[in-house]
């Protein structure tokens, strides 16, 4: 994938530094787990599925002390379910017997096990995202004007994308008119990253302020809302980039379908509902910038929770989940195990 | 008023350049109506009541050709009702017989008539805003955490403020805990101006991204929403800074009172409802800034319309208006004539 924000090359994880986009395409070369953790923490790589994948590669770099590496990576960002899921999978891979076509090795190299695990995860993720993109595209209609928030394309997953992949596939299949892109304050993932991706894909879009959604919907300019997710609770409550919940409330008022697109690894069966999802507070400085008075303080909540009742459907690689989410999510999770 | 953004001095209108705040306090000296129109158009002075007042002073500077001056000023910004109201009042003043304590002058100087009209308007506005501030403060409770949007203090009116004046008076009277300040994209009137004003007044506040309101309300951190208005239709629909309508929808969902604070001059009896209010689209460049790709386009709607059904009350200098707005607004407008 041309825009894939991470790849393995000669013993290092190369990470496209998303903080510099779209002005510059700079790659970070991570050769230690500490460097990977720092890239996740500082959001050089971001997007729940992408940080899960980066963490899987990070485990390969930190194979000498897997427990410490997993702790280091888990501590970077609290909300994304995929991160913890990927770390658990990596631990499982270490414990599993290695089958190498009949040849049993005495001491399999943990670094090799973890690297081949990460590569497999990367491939599975790419396949899964193509499946969910196809399923999601069927939910769109030709000419649809879709409102989206934050960034959910290849940059957000390291592969094809979530909501962004649905937009790509729908565009290829003539099932998309244009996209409204929320700029997504404070870090402007929409203005910087989604605009960059859609421009490269040739998909027509216009940027809007995050607070514009109400006016756009009231004017009949939005046919569907598509967003990704950072964690989905067992009851279908969805944690996603701050500003997602207002979009869902407005979509509900205007009778507009509100679709969440995410891999099954985003579901956290251990979280009964949104109240048990930890919500990251980031540095107020990200919000204050240079505009506010020097004495100003800010509350910089990175995510909010959209109650399941406002979610029309959750598009996953295992199928499109609909209410009652308690049941459909449980089935999807059982299928993944 | 210490922070008054405009005052008359030695034949010129001095305008505090709000584009430079809070970094620098620079004053523009306008000696022609063209300069006043430019200051309004470029938002050196902004806020519906303040641009009405600036236009009144601008008429005094353009007294040689009042019709042309009124047209020039009216064309600067389409949404604010106060601008057109102030221009109509200036025209009325020119037509009215001049009473100067019994001494009738043969040829009263239009510039003098228009200047004394503007000064009177300024005084009336200050008095009116103190009245509405007192009425609004009674609607708050000690400890209230109020969410506000854009800037509605002295900077927005040239006098004491609208929603911001309510916050000032409520704070003085012990009826306010703290304020959540929406940064208000794209021009950051909240982060730059409201933060600056609240800081000077010693009122505790924290900045938040515009998209945070849903998360704050869901956590029970907002007791009331207070906003200003740029135009209020006869049925109570309210045009205000983009992002106001989503706040009203969220407040409704969470059972939080949504109060609009505005002078009666903001009411446009000629607009039956929100659909007849012209909504300004501003330069996409204000939104794109330097973050988006160079090829990006944006839709920069400056205002949205909040339906009357979501407005708990409209606080004016003539009293607190409540539903049914068709009746209460008609009475308030009749009282102003």
Chain-centroid distance, C-alpha A135: 17
Residue B249: closest C-alpha in chain A: A250
Q: How far apart are CA B263 and CA B124, in angstroms?
A: 11
A128-164 pLDDT, tens digit per residue, is: 999 999 999 999 999 999 999 999 999 999 999 999 9
Identify the pLDDT of residue B1.
40
Classify the phi-psi angles of B179: left when phi > 0, otherwise alpha if psi is within -120 to 50, otherwise beta.
beta
Non-local CB neighbours of B137 within 8 Å, separated by 6+ positions: B166, B169, B170, B173, B175, B176
B205-244 pLDDT, tens digit per residue, is: 999 999 999 999 999 999 999 999 999 999 999 999 999 9
Which of B213, B215, B245 faces A218 most closely, judged by CB atoms? B245
Classify A280 as helix, strand or coil.
coil
CA distances (Å), origin A31, targets A10, A89, A256 = 10, 21, 46
Whole-number percent of chain A with pLDDT over 70:
95
Provide the pLDDT confidence category of residue A1 given band limits of 50, 70 and 90.
very low
Segments of chain B scoring below 50 in pLDDT: 1-2
How close, in Å, is residue B4 to chain A by CA atoms?
18
Q: Which residues pair with A239 in a beta bridge?
A: A231, A305
Report which secondary-structure segment, H or E, holds A279: none
Which of B215, B289, B299 faces A304 most closely, judged by CB atoms? B215
Which of A209, A245, A250 faces B215 most closely, judged by CB atoms? A245
A182-206 pLDDT, tens digit per residue, is: 999 999 999 999 999 999 999 999 9
Tokens of B165: 């004046």
Identify the pLDDT of residue A116.
96
Of these residues, A182, A223, A230, A237, which one is catalytic?
Answer: A230
Place of tokens 């990470």: A15
Which of A182, A212, A287 faces B183 most closely, judged by CB atoms? A287
Q: State whether A192 and B243 contact (CB < 8 Å).
A: no
Identify the pLDDT of residue B104.
57
Classify A183 as helix, strand or coil.
coil
Question: Which sequence positions of B are flagged as catalytic?
Answer: 230
Q: How far apart are CA A149 and CA A177, in angstroms?
A: 17
Q: In degrees rounded to 5, what are phi and psi of residue A179?
A: -130, 130
How close, in Å, is residue B112 to chain A by CA atoms?
40
CA distances (Å), origin B181, targets A206, B18, B132, B250 = 27, 17, 21, 16
How close, in Å, is residue B329 to chain A by CA atoms?
24
Chosen for mutation from A296, A301, A302, A307 (greatest number of chain B CBs closer than 10 Å) is: A296
Provide the pLDDT confidence category of residue A108 given band limits of 50, 70 and 90.
confident
Q: Which residues pair with B115 in a beta bridge?
A: none
Place of tokens 């040689």: B64
Q: How far apart are CA B256 and CA B310, in angstroms?
A: 10
Identify the pLDDT of residue B2.
47
- What's the ipTM? 0.95
A72-86 pLDDT, tens digit per residue, is: 999 999 999 999 999
Identify the pLDDT of residue A85.
96
Mean pLDDT on A109-130: 96
Chosen for mutation from B19, B206, B219, B246 (greatest number of chain A CBs closer than 10 Å) is: B246
Mean pLDDT on A151-180: 97
pTM check: above 0.90: yes
Q: State whether B249 and A213 contact (CB < 8 Å).
A: no
How close, in Å, is residue A221 to chain B by CA atoms?
12
Provide the pLDDT confidence category of residue A104 given band limits of 50, 70 and 90.
low
Q: How many CB atoms lie within 10 A of CB B2?
A: 6
Q: State whether B206 and A245 contact (CB < 8 Å).
A: no
Which of A189, A336, A220, A185 lies closest to A269 in space, CA to CA?
A336
Tokens of A25: 């395409």
Q: State whether A196 and B293 contact (CB < 8 Å).
A: yes
Q: How far apart are CA B68 and CA B73, in angstroms?
A: 9
Non-local CB neighbours of A290 within 8 Å, separated by 6+ positions: B23
Which of B151, B128, B96, B165 lies closest to B267 in space, CA to CA?
B128
Q: Is A2 exposed, middle or buried (0-12, 13-18, 19+ CB in 10 A)?
A: exposed
Which of A258, A266, A273, A269 lies closest to A305 in space, CA to CA?
A273
Chosen for mutation from A197, A211, A292 (greatest number of chain B CBs closer than 10 Å) is: A211
Mean pLDDT on A224-250: 98
Mean pLDDT on A18-25: 95
Chain B residues with CB-CB distance to A79 below 8 A? none
Classify A192 as helix, strand or coil.
helix
Identify the pLDDT of residue A203.
98
Q: How far apart are CA B54 and CA B41, in angstroms?
A: 11
Identify the pLDDT of residue B134.
98
Which of B278, B289, B274 lies closest to B74 in space, CA to CA?
B278
Lowest mean pLDDT among A51-60, A320-329, B102-111, B218-227: B102-111
Residue B301: closest C-alpha in chain A: A212
């Amino acid at each position: 994938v041309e825009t894939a924000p991470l790849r393995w090359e000669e013993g290092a994880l190369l990470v496209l530094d998303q903080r510099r986009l779209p002005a510059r395409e700079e790659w970070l070369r991570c050769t230690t787990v500490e460097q990977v953790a720092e890239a996740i923490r500082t959001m050089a790589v971001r997007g729940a599925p992408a940080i899960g994948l980066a963490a899987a590669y990070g485990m390969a770099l930190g194979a000498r002390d897997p427990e410490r590496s997993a702790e280091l990576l888990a501590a970077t960002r609290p909300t994304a379910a995929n991160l913890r899921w990927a770390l658990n999978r990596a631990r499982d891979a270490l414990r599993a017997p290695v089958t190498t076509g009949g040849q049993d090795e005495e001491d399999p190299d943990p670094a090799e096990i973890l690297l081949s695990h990460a590569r497999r995860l990367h491939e599975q993720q790419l396949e899964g995202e193509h499946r969910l993109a196809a399923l999601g595209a069927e939910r769109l209609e030709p000419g649809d004007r879709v409102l989206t928030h934050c960034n959910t394309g290849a940059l957000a997953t390291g592969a094809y994308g979530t909501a962004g992949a649905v937009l790509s596939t729908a565009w290829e299949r003539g099932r998309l008119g244009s996209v409204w892109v929320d700029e997504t304050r404070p870090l402007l993932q929409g203005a910087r990253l989604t605009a960059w991706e859609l421009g490269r894909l040739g998909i027509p879009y216009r940027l809007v302020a995050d607070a514009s959604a109400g006016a756009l919907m009231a004017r009949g300019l939005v046919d569907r809302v598509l967003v990704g997710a950072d964690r989905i609770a067992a009851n279908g409550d969805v944690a996603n980039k701050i500003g997602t919940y207002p979009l869902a409330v407005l979509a509900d008022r205007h009778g507009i379908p509100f679709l969440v697109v995410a891999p099954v690894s985003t579901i956290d069966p251990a979280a009964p509902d949104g109240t048990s999802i930890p919500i990251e507070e980031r540095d107020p400085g990200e919000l204050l910038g240079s505009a506010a008075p020097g004495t100003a303080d800010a509350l910089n909540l990175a995510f909010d929770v959209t109650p399941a009742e406002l979610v029309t459907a959750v598009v996953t690689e295992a199928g499109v989940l609909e209410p009652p989410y308690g049941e459909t999510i449980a089935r999807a999770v059982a299928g993944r195990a």
